[in-house]
Structure 1
Amino acid sequence: MTRLTHSDARDPFFDNAKFLLIVLVALGHFWEQIIGGAPALRAVHTVVYAFHMPAFALLCGYFSQRFSTGPAQMRRMTETVVIPYLIFETLYSATYSAERGYPFAITPTEPTYLCWFLIALFLWRLSTPLWQAIRHPVAVAVLISLTAGITTMSYDLALPRVLMFLPWFVLGLRLHARHFTLLRTAAARPVAVAVLFLAGAGAYLLAPGPDDHWLSMDVSYHELGVGWQEYLLLRVGIFALSAVLVAAFFACVPRRRTSFTALGAATMYPYLLHGLLVRAAEAAGLYPSLQALGLTGQVLLSVVVVVLVVVLSSAPVRRLFRPLVEPRLPFLFTPRSSTQVTDAVRQK
């Protein structure tokens, strides 16, 4: 079985997976605003956070297998990752300043809110040739991830998250199409549904725990209030649990073309834009009213968020925001840096 080719990138299975993942990302960010006092919603939120970023990182690795840091690929990554990061880092900094009264400051080395993933994607992809050259890359990446959690480091360049989620990207680099085929069977789906249901039940019993930082991977064991031995043991357990849930998620993804398949090719737009709406709704004071409605408010918010992701993925919105999300800056590059390359950034 060969690895990813350009034609594989339009497999509806992967576009379906990317769209569903971006819906879960958006839901998670909105749910965080009303999660207090809602153990069932918190349980769903916990399960989603246990697998959605690992699955995203895995897909980014899978679609980065042909990345070689050549001039054309570096140009494409600059236009679709680096420049959008600088643009949205500025926008989110301004949003936080206006909404919460923080002093406005542009600090590109300290990513704001969801911009951390762009930094991570940039650094992961730059490291791709290294992981393709060394032996046992997944094991080495796991070792780096665990070590990052028992060391003291700042949040510059989102390094805690970059290093702790690294194994999922490296695992994606090593996967073949046949590995996903194992999950794309009728027999796998009911098992996957049962696994997700059991995970939700377990998360409900643990509510209001565990601490969200265990799954967001942004702090060390010191901040989590455990010893390093306990931390390492729990992190290994989280790796195993996340692997099972990632597999369960992919087993549930539709294999054929659906009404939302085409939207899966444009997930960077809802990813970067929805956070601004999260903050706008907070500034407007909408969340206390929704929280007061209980289950009705949770369902209403969830439906609105799904519709919102569809709208943000639509062609009119993409045309409007393309200068921010996918800017074209030919004056920065030499003529030989052709843009005719296969790129994984749009798979995010």
Structure 2
Amino acid sequence: MGHTVNSCKRCSALSGFRRDGIAQQTLPTRSLGQAQAPPDGTAAAQAGRTARSVKERDAFFDNAKYLAIVLVAMGHAWEPLRDESRAVTALYMVVYAFHMPAFIVISGYFSRNFDASPGRIKRLVTGVAVPYIVFEVAYTFFTRWTDNEPERKISLLDPLYLTWFLAALFIWRLTTPFWRTVRWPLPLALGVAMLATLSPSMGKDLDLQRALQFLPYFVLGLVLKPEHFTMVRRREVRMLAVPVFLCAVVVAYWAVPRMNYAWFFHRTSAEELAAPAWYGPLMTLVLFGCSTVLVACFLSLVPRRGMWFTALGAGTLYGYLLHGFVIQAANHWHWSQIDWVHEPLGKIAATLVAGAVVTLLCTPPVQRMFRFAMEPKMDWAFRRDPAEAARSR
């Protein structure tokens, strides 16, 4: 949990998804039987409509989101411990190779039905745009204290700290109808990402470099079908996942002194990483292949049944955005300068504390406390959908 805003902007952070605003992760409404519904206006009819409106969450995806957000927090805990430990850096590289791609793939998968209808636009604004503005402002004021920069100005065009994901998600979801229309969406998205690595002058507006380089993972989620997730949960895949992760750690350990791990952040061009320009498109393809394999392995190991932490999967956006304040406060008090933290047991303790903190921030009481910022109703700001008004009549 130790790096300043400026240094953290060099790494990808996690995020979470809420039911309507970020990743609609619900299954089709359950059938209530074939009996004819009672006439409108009766108590039975109203109860039936209420029951039909309840959607069942998929425990698998909630579990995946929770486990991924825990890895995000642990990655932040390893941030100040990397330079002194090759093993920690190797684990850091492996985690950063798949935790953000996993979140983005899931987000894309549950954005397949985004059609720019009034209701979905409203949810996009209230679930993504408004939290982005609120936390961009909040982080600016908070980091004036933690980073001793009282003159830092609010800039809604230059995402600060963890808010880059919300800015990117807003862009991705607005372009969903386009990706659902073109014939070869994934190759086209990979081409866009490859070209982005050749554009060092792109600028910081909405962290567009990172939005474009992570775009293929979102588009991959758009083109996936339920049977693809069934395939990765097969027993054979689960058996292969552990040795694949072990091989990834070994390769990362070998690569630590030979590779710049900033490639996994997907936020700079090849030239800005002191590499020849042609490295950018090549690394885009290599990293996409490696990350996709690790995401599949990660998803294969995610429990399919309800667990004690399943309910926390609905609050990962809260854990994602709020744990940044804890990190910044810990940095301000220089937690990483404590000697025992750099011992093996200290590193393990820091890892466990990070996981515990983000778990606490995903709990229902925290959700209720901060729902005004994460899930504002804002009915006053939107015209009522004519179709919705007709249904209510």
TM superposition score normalised by structure 1:
0.93
One-letter code of the match for 2:314?
A
**Larger mean Cα displacement after TM superposition, 122-131 or 149-158:** 149-158
Greater CA drift, 227-236 or 82-91: 227-236
Per-residue CA deviation, residues 82-119 of structure 1 (Å, 9 max, x unaligned), is 11100100111112211112223110000001100000
Q: How far is 1:36 from its partner?
A: 2.3
Asked if 2 retains the 8 angstrom alpha-carbon contact of 1:47 and 1:203, the reply is yes
More displaced stretch, 3-12 vs 63-72: 3-12
Rounded to whole Å, the distance in 1 between the matches of 2:326 and 2:99 is 20
Deviation, structure 1 residue 230: 2.6
Distance in 2, Cα, partners of 1:92 & 1:338? 39
Query: Is 1:96 paired with 2:150?
Result: no
For residues 35 and 318 of structure 1, the distance between their equivalents in structure 2, rounded to whole angstroms, comes to: 32
- CA displacement, residues 258-289 of structure 1 (integer Å, 9 cap, x when unaligned): 11111111110001100111001011121111
Question: Larger deviation: 214-223 or 228-237?
Answer: 228-237
Query: Of residues 207, 218, 227 in structure 1, which corresponds to 2:256?
Result: 207
Aligned residue pairs total: 338
Amino acid paired to 1:249: F
Task: Give the counterpart of 1:222 among 271, 294, 300.
Answer: 271
Q: 1:346 maps to which residue?
A: none
**Structure 2 Cα separation of the partners of residues 86 and 339 of structure 1:** 28
User: For 1:4 and 1:266, how far apart are their aligned partners in 2?
Assistant: 14
Are residue 296 (structure 1) and residue 345 (structure 2) matched? yes
Partner Cα distance (1:9, 1:65) in 2? 18
What corresponds to 1:343 in structure 2?
Answer: none
In the TM superposition, residue 291 of structure 1 has moved relative to its aligned partner by 6.4
* 1:302 partner amino acid: T
The answer on 1:134 being equivalent to 2:167 is no
8 Å contact kept, 1:196–1:245: yes
Quick check: 1:50 aligned with 2:72? no
CA contact (8 A) 1:72 1:337 kept: no
Q: 1:255 to 1:292 in 2, by over 3 A?
A: closer
Contact residue 43 and residue 207 of structure 1 kept, 8 A: yes
Unaligned 5+ segments in structure 1 are: 341-348
TM superposition shift of 1:213:
2.1
Alignment-mate amino acid for residue 74 of structure 1: I
- The answer to whether the Cα contact below 8 Å between 2:341 and 2:350 also exists between their aligned partners in 1 is no
Matched, 1:161 2:161: no
Deviation, structure 1 residue 4 = 7.7
How big is each residue's C-alpha offset from its partner over 1:222-278, in whole Å with a ceiling of 9 and x where there is no partner?
A: 111111223322222111111111111111111111111111111100011001110
In the alignment, which of 71, 77, 80 is matched to residue 30 of structure 1? Answer: 77
Check conservation: 1:80, 1:325, Cα contact below 8 A.
yes
Check the 8 A contact 1:119/1:158 in 2, yes or no: yes
1:39·1:204 contact (CA, 8 Å) conserved in 2?
yes
Deviations 1:173-217 (A, max 9, x none): 000010011111222112101101110111112224532320111
Moved more, 25-34 or 260-269: 25-34
Q: Which residue of 2 aligns with 1:173?
A: 222
1:59 equivalenced with 2:106 (yes/no)? yes
Output the CA distance in 2 between the equivalents of 1:46 and 1:207: 8
Structure 2 regions of 5+ residues with no counterpart? Answer: 1-24, 30-54
Shift of 1:34: 2.5
For residues 122 and 9 of structure 1, what CA distance do their matches in structure 2 show? 25
Residues 1:200 and 1:150: Cα distance change in structure 2 (over 3 Å): same
Which residue of 2 is the match for residue 148 of structure 1?
Answer: 196
Residue matched to 2:173: 125
Say if 1:136 and 1:277 are closer, same or farther in 2 by CA, change over 3 A. same
Aligned-partner Cα distance in 1 for 2:314–2:73 = 16
* C-alpha separation in 2, matches of 1:143 and 1:9: 37
- TM-score, L = length of structure 2: 0.82
Matching residue within 232, 253, 257 for 2:306: 257
